[in-house]
Amino acid sequence: MDHLVVCKQCNESEELEGFTENNQISVRCLNCGLTWVRDLTPKCKICDSSNVRPAFEAIVSKSRGTQLSVQSSKLIYLCVDCDASRLKDYQKRNSPLMPKNLPTT
């Protein structure tokens, strides 16, 4: 599972405490004590670039047999370098992308 927030010092992802201070979100790791301001700038998970574009990805579930149903969509960010083909497909179709991994059960 990808965690949205992970301590940069000890890699803890569960024992974290969030609080607001000076209109910023701060996070404290209860494991090692490190405190940092959470950066909400979207970045690529692969190359850490902030050169990303917003897109929507479908949330699908298996309804009957092999039939997949789109339940909703979620906002994702696509890197112009690492996700170039998905980004081009999204811009061309202008509809939510199918997820990379489809449900099997």
- Please give the Cα distance from 15 to 83 (Å, whole number): 32
Give 35-73 pLDDT, tens digit per residue.
999 888 899 989 999 999 999 999 988 877 778 888 899
Q: What is the sign of the dihedral through the CA atoms of 54, 97, 76 and 59? A: positive
pLDDT of residue 4 exceeding 70:
yes
The whole-number pLDDT of residue 3 equals 59
- Which helix (H) or strand (E) segment is 91 a member of? helix 84-93
Could you state, in order of their start, the residue ranges of all structural domains in the chain?
A: 1-40, 41-105
The rounded radius of gyration (Å) of the Cα atoms in the chain is: 17
Tokens found for residue 1: 């599972």
pTM of the complete model: 0.68
How far apart CA 72 and CA 55 sit, in angstroms, is 14
